[in-house]
């Protein structure tokens, strides 16, 4: 009896593009790939064999030239060789990402079920995303992510690294209430939070309630009373529950956002132009310039990238020159402007650090690259754009 794989070889080898004209394009492409695998040393997998049989059954009436052989072969399928075995990898461990940052790493052999689960987990985990090759997923190394991933992947028989398992057991042994109470201002000895805020703002700066609330994330303390969310932009930013907050362009203008950042003593400011929104560079620089000037900021501003001298680039570069946005990066710099994905090397050698980050028209958010890693040191990242970036966990600047 003819085996299924030998029968496929006969069908594909028919002259005058027999198979190509007989099968739908999608089916032919699949069969042609399987044909190549069968001729190669590694053969096909068991799952691929099922797919081959399925396509042959669906097209059995069209294959009248092979009617008798096909009927016999499909009644009791046999194969000339053993199926290729694919090692199933399912692991959760900690390693460095391509950006050299420690992260929770999910490694697995392709599975639509696992991919579907990870898409769902993205809604509940912090910065869970695929790596460059798609063979691994990375998530921020946080307590929440450890618990979410261990509990979601363990039922799928993932191999959980002993370090991750130890962290998970430790976290689950904690009492949430006891831990939370330790960070209440009233329970913190020596008023350390006041010392830090005073060092941050200067001893003569008046500290209002919004600033106290705002700095809670930076200095890891919490308030006894529930947060009060209002329509006031200063309160909305101060009362965020995560470091990132999206503010829609239709609701908030840039001048108001910068005014709120000034009220919260959130300068110096790092502004990020999205490399995927190059068509808006001139417009956004003009909007940014107008917003800064409305808030009394005219100097100590540096734009640390230039565009090619085409029609748009010349206008952009000339505007930088006219506004004197070419200040050296030092302790006096109030606003630094960079392009996403490209962090000038002198930022890493300089003591200057932003108190807040503002991204303009981001399409993917600060998810990848050196700017994303650099911005992780900041507890306030404001994303100003028309639409909220999909599949990213953050606070939206509109409270119900």
Please report which helix (H) or strand (E) contains residue 284, including its range. Answer: helix 281-294
The pLDDT of residue 397 is 47
Distance CA 92, CA 159 (A): 6
Q: What is the pLDDT of residue 338?
A: 95
Beta strands in 136-284 (DSSP E): 136-140, 159-160, 244-248, 269-273
Q: Crossing angle of helices 46-58/25-39, nearest 10°?
A: 140
pLDDT tens track, the chain, 400 positions? 689 999 999 999 999 899 999 999 999 999 999 999 999 878 988 889 999 999 999 999 888 888 888 888 888 899 998 888 777 889 999 999 888 889 999 999 877 889 889 989 988 898 888 888 778 999 999 999 999 999 999 999 999 999 999 999 999 998 877 777 776 666 666 566 666 666 666 655 666 788 888 888 888 777 766 566 666 899 999 989 888 899 999 999 999 999 999 999 999 999 999 887 778 899 999 999 999 999 999 999 999 999 998 888 999 999 999 999 999 999 999 999 999 888 999 998 999 999 999 999 876 656 667 888 888 889 999 999 988 865 444 444 443 2
Q: What is the pLDDT of residue 400?
A: 29
DSSP class of residue 378? Answer: -
User: What is the C-alpha to C-alpha distance for residues 376 and 372, in angstroms, rounded to an integer?
Assistant: 6
SS3 196: helix
The confidence score (pLDDT) of residue 151 equals 96
What pLDDT was estimated at residue 330? 95
Q: Report whether 275 contacts 339 (CB < 8 A).
A: yes
| Rounded (5°) CA angle 319-279-361 | 95
Domain edges within the chain? 4-75, 90-174, 227-396
In DSSP terms, 360 is beta-bridged to 273, 384
The topology (CATH level 3) of 90-174 is Translation Initiation Factor Eif1 (3.30.780)
Its CATH architecture, for the domain 227-396, is 3-Layer(aba) Sandwich (3.40)
CA angle 361, 364, 368 (to 5 degrees): 120
pTM (2 d.p.): 0.59
Please tell me the predicted confidence (pLDDT) of residue 99: 81
């Amino acid at each position: 009896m003819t085996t299924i794989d030998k029968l496929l070889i006969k069908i594909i080898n028919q002259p005058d593009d027999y198979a190509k004209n007989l099968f739908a394009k999608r089916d032919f492409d699949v069969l042609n790939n399987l044909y190549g695998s069968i001729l190669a040393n590694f053969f096909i997998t068991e799952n691929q064999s099922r797919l081959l049989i399925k396509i042959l059954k669906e097209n059995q009436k069209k294959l009248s030239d092979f009617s008798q052989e096909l009927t016999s072969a499909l009644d009791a399928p046999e194969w000339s060789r053993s199926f290729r075995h694919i090692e199933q990898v399912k692991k959760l461990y900690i390693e460095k990402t391509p950006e050299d940052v420690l992260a929770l790493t999910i490694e697995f052999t392709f599975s639509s079920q696992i991919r579907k689960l990870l898409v769902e987990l993205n809604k509940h985990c912090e910065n869970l995303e695929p790596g460059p090759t798609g063979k691994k997923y990375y998530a921020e190394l946080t307590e929440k992510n450890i618990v979410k991933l261990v509990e979601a992947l363990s039922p799928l028989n993932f191999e959980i690294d002993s370090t991750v398992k130890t962290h998970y057991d430790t976290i689950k042994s904690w009492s949430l209430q006891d831990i939370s109470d330790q960070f209440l201002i009233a329970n913190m000895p020596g008023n350390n939070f006041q010392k830090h805020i005073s060092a941050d703002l200067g001893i003569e700066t008046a500290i209002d309630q919004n600033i106290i609330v705002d700095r809670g994330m930076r200095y890891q303390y919490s308030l006894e009373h529930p947060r009060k969310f209002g329509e006031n932009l200063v309160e909305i930013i101060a009362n965020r529950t995560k470091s990132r907050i999206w503010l829609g362009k239709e609701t908030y203008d840039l001048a108001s956002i910068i005014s709120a950042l000034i009220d919260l003593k959130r300068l110096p400011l790092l502004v990020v132009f999205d490399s995927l929104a190059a068509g808006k560079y001139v417009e956004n620089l003009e909007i940014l310039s107008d917003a800064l000037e409305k808030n009394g900021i005219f100097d100590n501003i540096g734009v640390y990238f230039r565009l090619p001298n085409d029609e748009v680039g010349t206008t952009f570069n000339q505007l930088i020159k006219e506004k004197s946005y070419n200040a050296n990066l030092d302790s006096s710099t109030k606003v630094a402007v960079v392009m996403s994905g490209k962090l000038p090397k002198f930022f890493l050698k300089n003591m200057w650090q932003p108190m807040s980050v503002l991204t303009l028209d981001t399409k993917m958010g600060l998810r990848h690259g050196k700017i994303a890693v650099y911005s992780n040191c900041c507890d306030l990242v404001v994303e100003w754009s028309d639409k909220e970036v999909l599949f990213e966990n953050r606070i939206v600047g509109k409270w119900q």
